[in-house]
Amino acid sequence: MDKIQIIIEYFSTYGLIFLFVVIFLEYLNFPGLGAAIIMPALGIAIAKVGINFFVALGISILAGALASYILFALSYWFGGPILTKVYNKFPKSRKSIDKVCFYIENYGDKGVLITRLIPVGRTLIPFVAGMFRMNIIKFSIYSTIGIAIWNAVFIYAGYAFGYWFI
């Protein structure tokens, strides 16, 4: 529980800015920030600090969407060379990236929503969608819906636990 206390202290000091930064970095695929651990922990912390769940959820969706736009833009302009380097340096990642490509090729825009709900796919989809030069409006709609569902489930799991049990 020490780590939860540290997160609660950060929330007490930095408030929703802390939430935004953590979620933003998680959606940028920074190592060590797995959503299945970080988001419930943030949920516990917002329950303990007394931050409104829906405000926190809105901030988390905004952070996730902004990070996704950055990855989308990077891959839109530089996706080919980046993908070649990733395939060469991390050959095991090819299977996951190819699976995300499969969803886009077979389900089109709705593939963004589907992959936003799959653990590995959710972090790769902005990159793949940018490489496919997907329409940014459709990407935004389906991506935001997926981000909202994912964040709501994981943050609320921690929020409910923190509210009722800690």
Task: Please provide residue 51's backbone torsions phi and psi, each rounded to the nearest 5 degrees.
Answer: -80, 140
Domain count for the chain: 1
The pLDDT of residue 150: 95
CA-CA distance, 154 to 18, in Å (whole number)? 17
The pLDDT of residue 76: 95
What is the extent of the structural domain holding 42? 2-165
pTM of the model as a whole: 0.89
Q: What is the DSSP-derived secondary structure letter of residue 30?
A: -
pLDDT tens track, the chain, 166 positions: 566 677 778 877 888 898 899 899 999 988 767 778 889 988 988 998 888 999 999 999 999 999 999 999 999 999 889 888 888 888 888 888 888 889 898 998 899 999 999 888 888 899 999 999 999 999 999 999 999 999 999 999 999 998 787 6
